[in-house]
Amino acid sequence: MSLFLIIDILGTIAFSISGVLTALKKRMDPFGILIIAFVTAVGGGTLRDVLIDADITWMRNLTFVYVIFITFIVAVIFRKKLGYVRKSLFLFDTIGIALYTIVGVEKGIAAGFPPIICVALGTMTACFGGVIRDILCNEIPIIFRKEIYATACILGGTAYFLLMKTTLTEDWVVVISGSLVILVRLLAVIFKLSLPNIYKDQIVIDKE
Amino acid sequence: MSLFLIIDILGTIAFSISGVLTALKKRMDPFGILIIAFVTAVGGGTLRDVLIDADITWMRNLTFVYVIFITFIVAVIFRKKLGYVRKSLFLFDTIGIALYTIVGVEKGIAAGFPPIICVALGTMTACFGGVIRDILCNEIPIIFRKEIYATACILGGTAYFLLMKTTLTEDWVVVISGSLVILVRLLAVIFKLSLPNIYKDQIVIDKE
Amino acid sequence: MSLFLIIDILGTIAFSISGVLTALKKRMDPFGILIIAFVTAVGGGTLRDVLIDADITWMRNLTFVYVIFITFIVAVIFRKKLGYVRKSLFLFDTIGIALYTIVGVEKGIAAGFPPIICVALGTMTACFGGVIRDILCNEIPIIFRKEIYATACILGGTAYFLLMKTTLTEDWVVVISGSLVILVRLLAVIFKLSLPNIYKDQIVIDKE
């Protein structure tokens, strides 16, 4: 089993558990929890594949279906203990978005899209599973309010493109741009960085 | 007109009326009610066709567009009397999800997807029109909380696959697995069965 | 630059600003505002292209990506002044939906769909960016409650079809049906017209 696949599976597990946790907070039943775990893990990639008119990976290759299903079962059984693995989850999740970003960018390049669209596809792959999760849970998507993920993905995806124009091998480009995603996200969480707050002065834009 | 088509139309009517009722509760205007009736009836099949990259039936064959439109007109005019037909609606709706499940499973098989994905496509066809309806009405989808439909569809779809490996003719497989969907749903409603409640002990999963 | 393209760009600007305004009311961060501006402007056309299985324009032709991005930057910087351009915005927006309706109808015709579906595709192109915007902002879509847009689009799209059966040239058909969309919407706003209110008698449909 390649390192790439192991990282992908760890990311999928982290994303699925994030879905289970959100669904539990909304007191969903087991079917609802399973669906939320599923869309959190594969929703971003599915949206990407629909937009670029590609085959949807998880519908042909069942590896991720099984990984999500087993994660769902284990996470529901041990739901009271999930707090203990929070730090590991955060790590897997961060590595997962780095990988998902690169997968999305590469799929966009392979289909011949312009660089800016490829970066958008990478960001979508990493972030929009969470957006669909939040919509199905009747919440404004968290990354639209307290942005943690998306900037890291945009920077990493952009780095991927710039580095591909150098003499670096593709392996190095993947490692460096993926590490950039991880680094930006870790620094953002450690130093509580966020995008500039444009509401400081509490202007009421529209009273209607 | 084949029995199959009659069942399909009765199911579409039941789904459309369920959409009209939900939209009326949200006090939508006639345009909103029409759209909600529409997505409730065809949303699940449309999502399925987008995911498997198939032509979307109602865009080429207008039968269901007319059925939904006439149902919308009649249901809005007689909106105060809809309570009286509730039992008939429940019956049509139950027969409808049985049929939709089988249509979805068969479309998946025809496109060469693995069994577990075909069962998921059947469940999606039967249940996700209601999910889109609830999202457009700004509610957490009801089947994620009080699951009534989905388990019946999953069991019926699985039965379809297992029975196709026996010597039964396809007609019998359709009748038996469709009846199973109907039976499970009727029993669930009559005996107020639901998926196990995992919140009995009122654990607060996450206090953040 | 053709008149057609100029109108399209003005419409895109108006739609993007409507997205920025909605996102600001929800106190989203800059990333959220950008995404909402984006889906408001291109969401309807994207949904249409996914349903008719066509290439998605903005993913290959970056003009609109740049227009939306610049509009987003300018609108966020001058967010306190947006009230002053409200009337211009309303005008651009109204011209925009007229154009989007015709583009949608023409794409449907080119792909060989029946007239009623082409009118639906035109209405979807003009109106469903706003629907997706409202869903991402956790609101019931405004056009389902206080319908302002959709009737104008349906009438204009229908006029397009009827006029194409006359001896008028296509240019005249576009001008007349587009003007009809604009006229209906202006009259609706000036005279505060809306679809018939079916809740006047305050019937409680369903007490469950």
Q: Which of C28, C55, C65 sits opposite A116 (nearest CB)?
A: C65
* pLDDT, tens only, C81-91: 887 877 778 88
State the pLDDT at residue C7: 82
Interface residue ranges in chain B relative to chain C, Cβ cutoff 8 Å: 21, 23-32, 35-36, 46, 50, 53, 55-56, 59-60, 62, 65, 76, 79-80, 82-83, 135-138
Per-residue pLDDT of chain B (208 residues; tens, 9 = 90+): 577 788 888 889 999 999 999 999 999 999 999 999 999 999 999 999 999 999 999 999 999 999 999 999 999 999 888 877 877 788 888 888 999 999 999 999 999 999 999 999 999 999 999 999 999 999 999 889 877 789 999 999 999 999 998 999 988 999 999 999 999 999 988 887 777 778 875 544 444 4
Contact B140, A138 (CB under 8 A): yes
Query: Which residue matches tokens 């018939």?
Result: C196
The Cα C87–Cα C99 span in angstroms is: 19
State the pLDDT at residue C53: 94
SS3 B162: helix
Query: Which residue matches tokens 């469950």?
Result: C208
Nearest Cα to Cα of residue B127 among B116, B141, B137, B117: B141
Residues 6+ apart with CB under 8 A from B11: B92, B93, B95, B96, B97, B99, B100
Complete DSSP assignment for A67-126:
HHHHHHHHHHHTGGGGGGGHHHHHHHHHHHHHHHHHHHHHHHHHTT--HHHHHHHHHHHH
State the pLDDT at residue B88: 78
* pLDDT, tens only, A67-108: 999 999 999 999 888 877 777 788 888 888 999 999 999 999
Contact B122, C127 (CB under 8 A): no
Q: Write down which chains contact chain A via at least 3 CB pairs under 8 A.
A: B, C
- pLDDT band, very low/low/confident/very high, at C1 (cuts 50, 70, 90): low
The Cα C2–Cα C8 span in angstroms is: 10
Interface residue ranges in chain A relative to chain C, Cβ cutoff 8 Å: 50-53, 113-114, 116-117, 131, 135, 138-141, 143-147, 150-151, 194-199, 203, 205-206
Distances in whole angstroms, Cα of residue B137 to Cα of each of A172, B80, B142, C51, C125: 48, 21, 11, 22, 21
Residues 6+ apart with CB under 8 A from A48: A54, A104, A107, A121, A124, A125, A128
Torsion of CA B40, B41, B45, B51, to 10 degrees: -30
- pLDDT band, very low/low/confident/very high, at C32 (cuts 50, 70, 90): very high
The Cα B193–Cα B149 span in angstroms is: 11
* pLDDT, tens only, C39-59: 999 999 999 999 999 999 999
**Contact call for A80 and B53, based on CB within 8 A:** no
* pLDDT, tens only, A163-185: 998 999 988 999 999 999 999 99
* pLDDT, tens only, A27-53: 999 999 999 999 999 999 999 999 999
Nearest-Cα residue of chain C relative to residue B31: C144
Burial class from Cβ neighbours inside 10 Å (0-12, 13-18, 19+) for residue B196 reads exposed
State the pLDDT at residue C201: 57
* pLDDT, tens only, A102-147: 999 999 999 999 999 999 999 999 999 999 999 999 999 988 987 7
Which chain C residues contact residue B28 at CB under 8 A?
140, 144-145
